[in-house]
């Protein structure tokens, strides 16, 4: 647990030092619905819907739909998944006059490892994404035909889930703390190999064994292609729902 805290503190310190450079502060709200379909003991399918908008002024920022199929790798705590995301990007300036929505396709491959340290659950997630951006005109005011490959992005997330209070059988009030770093790769990347870092802390509540609600704070620190930064404070609401598709034993 000390290692987790140490890593988080080092990344926060790095964010602070970067933040002394040119950075734009923004406030946003994210809403998420995560639905998991349990196929059997080894396979499950997950669908995500996320809406993201600025607070002042209220303006659309992003919307995404992500689907991924997971396979548990024995009883070792490892699993792998393959997925695709449709990502709709609006301007990074909420006061922009031209509010063109640019679609992006993101196929991804992922490996994750879950381990128990006493009552604490530690999750390691390794994800590789390929980013395909919808073509636009030179002024970025209108879409044109086709998609163009942009770059690869490598993501690592370290997360700790800590049960705080047992409400009922298998139902807990939980604290979740995570940190995720994103790195860009590709011949179009020059100044922003480090693309972003996300530090999150939230409180989750199990409404039932198959339904949970979570509210938290996310600091999204992102480097722009020109070398400047966005420093975003985000209030995040998430609902997670599980649906068991396995046939019940008689």
**Can you give the pLDDT at residue 21?**
63
Q: Which of 3, 79, 2, 7 is nearest to 36 (CA)?
A: 79
231 lies in which domain range?
25-244
The per-residue pLDDT for 227 is 83
- Identify the pLDDT of residue 220: 97
Number of folded domains that form the chain? 1
Predicted local confidence at residue 139, as pLDDT: 86
**Residue 8 in domain:** no
> How confident is the model at residue 247, as a pLDDT?
67
pLDDT of residue 209: 85
Does any domain span residue 237? yes
Tell me if 132 is assigned to some domain.
Answer: yes
**pLDDT value, residue 3:** 47
Q: What is the pLDDT of residue 169?
A: 75
Asked, for residue 16, whether it belongs to a domain, the answer is no
CATH of the domain at 103: 2.40.160.40
How far is residue 153 from each of residues 106, 178, 218, 219, measured CA to CA in Å?
A: 10, 19, 20, 19
In a domain, 10, yes or no: no
User: Whole-prediction pTM value?
Assistant: 0.88
With respect to residue 33, please indicate whether it lies within any of the assigned structural domains. Answer: yes
How many beta carbons lie within 10 A of that of residue 44, not counting itself? 21
Could you tell me if residue 4 is inside a domain? no
- Profile the chain (250 residues) by mean pLDDT over runs of 10 residues: 47 49 91 97 96 96 98 92 98 93 98 94 97 93 95 97 84 93 90 92 93 97 90 98 76
How far CA 73 is from CA of 46, 114, 169, in Å, comes to: 17, 11, 27
Three-state DSSP at 13 gives helix
Alpha helix positions (H), the chain: 2-19
Q: Is residue 172 one of the residues assigned to a domain?
A: yes
């Amino acid at each position: 647990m000390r290692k987790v805290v140490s890593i988080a503190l080092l990344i926060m310190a790095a964010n602070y030092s970067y933040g002394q450079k040119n950075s734009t502060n923004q406030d946003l709200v994210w809403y998420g619905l995560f639905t998991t379909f349990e196929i059997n003991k080894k396979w499950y399918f997950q669908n995500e819907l996320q809406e993201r908008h600025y607070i002042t002024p209220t303006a659309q920022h992003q919307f995404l739909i992500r689907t991924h199929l997971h396979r548990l790798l024995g009883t070792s705590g490892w699993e792998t998944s393959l997925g695709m995301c449709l990502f709709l990007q609006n301007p990074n300036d909420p006061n922009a006059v031209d509010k063109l929505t640019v679609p992006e396709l993101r196929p991804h491959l992922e490996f994750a490892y879950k381990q128990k340290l006493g009552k604490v659950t530690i999750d390691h997630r390794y994800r590789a994404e390929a980013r395909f951006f919808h073509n636009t005109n030179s002024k970025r005011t209108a879409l044109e035909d086709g998609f163009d490959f942009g770059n690869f992005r490598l993501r690592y997330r370290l997360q700790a889930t800590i049960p705080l209070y047992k409400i009922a059988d298998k139902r807990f009030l939980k604290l979740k703390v995570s940190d995720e770093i994103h790195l860009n790769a590709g011949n179009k990347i020059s100044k922003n190999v480090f693309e972003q870092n996300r530090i999150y802390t939230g409180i989750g509540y199990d409404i039932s064994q198959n339904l949970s609600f979570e509210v938290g704070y996310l600091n999204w620190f992102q480097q722009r292609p020109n070398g400047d930064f966005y420093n975003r404070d985000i209030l995040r609401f998430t609902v997670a729902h599980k649906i068991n598709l396995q046939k019940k034993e008689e």
